[in-house]
Amino acid sequence: MTRPANTPWLTPYLTVGNGRSALDFYHRAFGFSAGNVVDENGVPTHAEMHYQGELVVMFAPEGAWGSTARAPRSLGVECPQTFYVYCDDVDAMHARAVAAGAVSLMAPADQFWGDRYCMVEDPDGYRWGFGKPVDKTAGKNEDGSA
């Protein structure tokens, strides 16, 4: 096997301001669960987070292992990418994330590409989009007509 079970071929590895805060936020806001967490003297220096039973993101705090990498918020820049995560209920995910402290950048709405989608920004300045394919059969008769 070339990769661990329940691990995608590509996993983002983020730099966060505070590992403990990030673990708490991602759990409260998105329902991610902690996987492997490397803790040094009470400070998480590496963390893996899972969603729907699969690894979705890993991160380390600023300064871990002598790194000079910084989170977008610490650098004062707009994050150039958005992490797109499929979920069961976009509206509920948006509400949960905002209640946990995320900033809403795009309220849930049906999009031209066929997904219901929203976007939020986490406390470290990373952007997260949540989507679900729009049910194209809603409101149609059994024969497929509207």
Secondary structure in 3-state letters for 88-130: CCHHHHHHHHHHCCCEEEEEEEECCCCEEEEEEECCCCCEEEE
**Residue 7 — very low, low, confident or very high, per pLDDT cuts 50/70/90?**
confident
**Residue 4 — very low, low, confident or very high, per pLDDT cuts 50/70/90?**
confident
Q: Is the model's pLDDT at 141 over the cut of 60?
A: no
Alpha-carbon span 30 to 84, nearest angstrom: 12
The per-residue pLDDT for 101 is 98
Q: Is the model's pLDDT at 138 over the cut of 70?
A: no
The per-residue pLDDT for 139 is 59
Domain spans of the chain?
Answer: 13-62+79-133
Token pair in block for residue 85 = 């995560």
Of the CATH numbers 3.40.50.2300, 3.40.50.620, 3.10.180.10, 3.50.50.60, which one belongs to the domain with range 13-62+79-133? 3.10.180.10
| Side-by-side strand order, sheet with 103-110 | 82-86, 127-133, 115-121, 103-110
pLDDT in tens, 39-93: 988 889 999 999 999 999 999 999 998 999 999 999 999 999 999 999 999 999 9
Single-letter code of the amino acid located at 138: A
Percent residues over pLDDT 90 in the chain: 82
This prediction has a pTM of 0.89
